[in-house]
Structure 1
Amino acid sequence: CRFLSVLTSDPPSDSPIADDWPPTLPCLVTLSTTLRRLHHFHRCSKYRLRFGQTARNRMREKVTASMIFRDRKASYPRSIGHPFIGDYVRLRQNAQWKKVVSESNDQFVVFADIVNKITRSAGKFVPILLAVSTNALLVVDQRTLQLKYRIPANDIARISLSPFMDDIAVVHVKAPVSPGSTELPDTSQKLNSPGCLFGSDHPKRKGDLVLQTCHVIEVVTKLFLVVQNATGKPPDITITTEFETNFGESTVIFLFRTTGLTEVAPGHIRIIRRHNRMEVLL
């Protein structure tokens, strides 16, 4: 059969995205379709075997980002070709950092970078070192590498963003156990979490964390997976122009407004605090 001879002498590409396939006679269409499907399954299997565990994790992160942000966040398309590097400041190799987190079991860092923390009172940008371990989100002093506070993965309830080109994300933290609750606080977590958001003997909520980073797609994706791995359930991802945040003793409404700019630099964002409203003008 000439068709089979062509397949043998000049086999189709092994690339999973290639669509080349030799033409065939109408009477062999069923055979051709079956062989093409089997060939595709085989080359996909070979392609997957080339990946180590690290590459598989990166692929999983990219697939997760697509599930979260595709057709929902305007800045997502520009992140597709950008690899998720994770540790942008080489925190994993820092000997001092290893000593700092040895007690809290946060040695395994999946993300670290200098980002902007947006202040609750006036919406100002304050640079901080943000780290995400396999167990928690950590805000760290840039110079001393001391933990300012630590949010365990199981305390992250939700992450909110706008659908626009901005790089702002709000990490919503679960409320602490109230004094009258029958549920006991996790004292071991308190011991392992210096500077944790929730005080000491009488928990006092510090509030949700508002961040701005050019790697917002990556950090939200990694937080999503960290929380899912730690709790068995991923956090809710809210993408809308208006949502509530808890700033400790008060609830503030975040409102995003855009002028239609295709690119938004951090300096071009105006954040105005008016009573219980925080307006972000893009």
Structure 2
Amino acid sequence: MDGWGRMNRAALDDAYQVRAYIPGGDDYPARWAKAAAAFRAAHPPETIPVGPAAVDLFRPEGEAAGLMVFVHGGYWHLFGREDWSHFAEGGLAQGYAVAMVGYPLAPGVRIAEITAHVARAIDAVAALVEGPIHLTGHSAGGHLAARMVMADAAPSCLDRIVACVPISPVTDLRPLVALSMNAELRLDTAEAVAESPCLGAPLPGRRIAVHVGEAERPSFHWQAKALATAWDVPLRIAAGRHHFDVIDALRDPGSALMADILG
């Protein structure tokens, strides 16, 4: 993957294709939506409007130990916060309030605007929950979570953020400029560079680890390693997991992923 600049569009498109390489990959969105709806019915969230989107806040019984924030994936142009509600399960079981952040989608907005919106959303929910803040996100959401601990994108509540764990993140956006998908994203080279976490640095003082599934596409291993190397943080490889089930560990309060997020 280090030679992405020499790959043609068809090869690059294939490198970032996920569903076709996962058994039953096309079934996952419907499965997530069904599980999320069931979880929301059992644990009705507070919905907090933030500009053109909203945050769903799930509160534990009793006083929260702090705030866990999850930012969903979908290549910045798919899905919504409601599709991922059940992944609040592990954080709630640990006694944390869990915020599922929604954001406006491309092509209606550019990625830099999504980054700025996520920072505003985190500030909005942080005003409602006391204690330390623990960030995580998956795929494009992993990119957005990583951007929150960088100086040019951090929310105002930065001093409360103690951990950031990007899961299967997209951290170098330059290859995406040549993708067919860029018709939705509208990335140019300047924005791709500015929005690439692995081309910048995190602010000091946060516990950071990068997670990726062992069975993921080479492009996502390359993206995860690029961030872990650039930021000099641990890279955790989840045995047997692919891009769609690596996040199942968010539902298990005792998982290694949750240990990195919540310490």
TM-score greater than 0.5 by the shorter chain: no
More strand per residue: 1
TM-score by length of 1: 0.29
Structure having the higher Rg: 1
More helix per residue: 2
* Higher relative contact order (CA closer than 8 Å, sequence separation 6+): 2
